[in-house]
Structure 1
Amino acid sequence: MTLDVIGAGLGRNATFTMKFALERLGFGPCFHMAELFADVRRRLPLWLDVVDGRPDWDAVFDGFRSVTDYPACTYWRELAAHYPRAKFVLTTRDPDSWFDSVSETIFAPRMQATLVGTPAEKMMQGAIYDAFKGGSMQDRAFMTGWYVRRNEAVIAALPPERLLVFHPKEGWEPLCAFLGVPVPDCPFPRVNSRDELGSASDETGGLPADPVELEAWGRSYIDTMREKAFA
């Protein structure tokens, strides 16, 4: 199995919505950060190899037909080269809205504190946080400027036949036309932006530190969000 669709949108850009949409269109399973959590003992070592510059992309995405969200979106250039037939979907939003969202969730101090001293800390640092070494993650002007430039780089690098710039509000039609599949007879999935991180993690101050608990949480989280997406 090889990747057919690659989501280039950063985390907090409807990446869970895209996971469920791609799976409904037949491009599943779709890898997402939550899938890493749900199988962390097996998958984290593969991503640590990626951070160390020794990626085995076929092993990383074994069993998946598509991917969205962090940490994969950081490596869109490498994935474009490794999977030359894959199409890309770049989900976007207002830069200030993105900054507000990541500041309250995946980049929040409570979330980063959860990772300290764990193997996942190195993966998150290398695959996500190192991109912001030129400034502060708390600096709105720096982060929103970086966000715009990063998305512009994706658009400039990928030919139009490989890239769709997309917002879920557009619905099924542009996505299905781009991927060459029929429009489903159901509403486009919707995942609440607050729920996308998981209310349980908010209440406990972060994600479970124990790998077994994290895997159980990740699988339950995916199942719950899938039910809500098509409610």
Structure 2
Amino acid sequence: MNHSFTTKELPESERPYEKFWKYGATALSDAELLAIVIKSGSSKMTAVDVARSFLSQKDRNLMNLYEMSYDEMKKIHGIGDVIAMQLKCIAELSTRIANTRHFEGIQMRSAATVAEYYMEQLRHEQQEKLIVCMFDSKCKWLGDSVVTTGSVSSSIVPPREIFICALEKKAVHIVMVHNHPSGRAVPSGEDNTVTAILTSVTGKPGISHNGKLPL
């Protein structure tokens, strides 16, 4: 008969639940935090062992929550459909919390302010995205909208759609943000062409184009 190892079989000082109740979440290691989510192990491993195995994949530690796919997670011994789903949901929640807390009420004081926010949001994207960020007359953030997904080129960037989004939000300023999944945040010739096109058509509807940030 198969026996599933649980954290209760660990010494009390190593049990995640007991450590949480005694010292709080900040006292738990990354593996122990994940073990509480995983709950139970397998016939050969405790939940903490499964968590350690997950963290050791690709030497990415907690970044595996973002960078490993649902199917990749399920290939790890002790992680099935439900646990893989829970781990991906934790990653998504952490991203949304960071985005909400970081940008709420922030003004467009500089390109660095906008870039800092969107770098966090786009750092795990595998596809290129062009996003229009909209601001009011006092440069307060109003919202954003994804304009294109995939290859961003002057032939597919729709200025009309960008300005419809801006007008619907009653935006006075817009900033275009474009990620480079390759990690090379240097404007390409195509990036510069797109920026020139957008700059040439702004102003007429009372909206200023404040630049394009490659991330």
TM-score, normalised via structure 2 length: 0.24
When Rg is computed on C-alpha atoms for both structures, the one with the higher figure is: 2
Instruction: Specify which structure has the bigger relative contact order, considering alpha-carbon pairs within 8 angstroms and separated by 6 or more residues.
Output: 1
TM-score, normalised via structure 1 length: 0.23
**Greater share of residues in strand:** 2
